[in-house]
Amino acid sequence: MQYLHTMIRVGDLEKSLHFFCDLLGMVEIDRRDSEKGRFTLVFLAAAKDEVQAREHKAPTLELTYNWDPEEYTGGRNFGHLAYRVDDIYALCEKLQAGGVTINRPPRDGYMAFIRSPDNISIELLQKGEPLAPKEPWVSMENTGSW
């Protein structure tokens, strides 16, 4: 068995691409438009998975954008996406500056949770050992749910 991708439906493709690519640093690997099906598929990879994703088409995140407006709610069995990051504090700072709410701040220097524009829960995990706890993260309260 080989992990290929996780698919999430998005309501605003440009807003989602800004979130995943500009703020989280993911890379677009492939894009497919279907006139007949009236949808666009965009496959993204974490920067450190780019070579593997281009060669094997995995592991990727598939953003499915349906051209006809629909309202999406969280799937009953969907939990979250998880990504290992080089510097959790720097990324959370960048996300906050980009208007993203840090739902579960990285108080422990290791784990944080955020949500995409379509309310998909995303776990961020510090690569290697946890970073030393520091402000403002240590004192930050949880916001919403993840």
The set of catalytic residues is: 123
Rg (CA), the chain: 16
3-state secondary structure the chain: CCCCEEEEECCCHHHHHHHHHHHCCCEEEEEEEECCCCEEEEEEECHHHHHHHHHHCCCEEEEEEECCCCCCCCCCCCCCEEEEECCHHHHHHHHHHCCCCEEECCCCCCEEEEECCCCCEEEEEECCCCCCCCCCCCCCCCCCCC
Measured CA to CA, the distance from residue 82 to residue 77 in angstroms comes to: 15
Beta bridge partners of 107: none
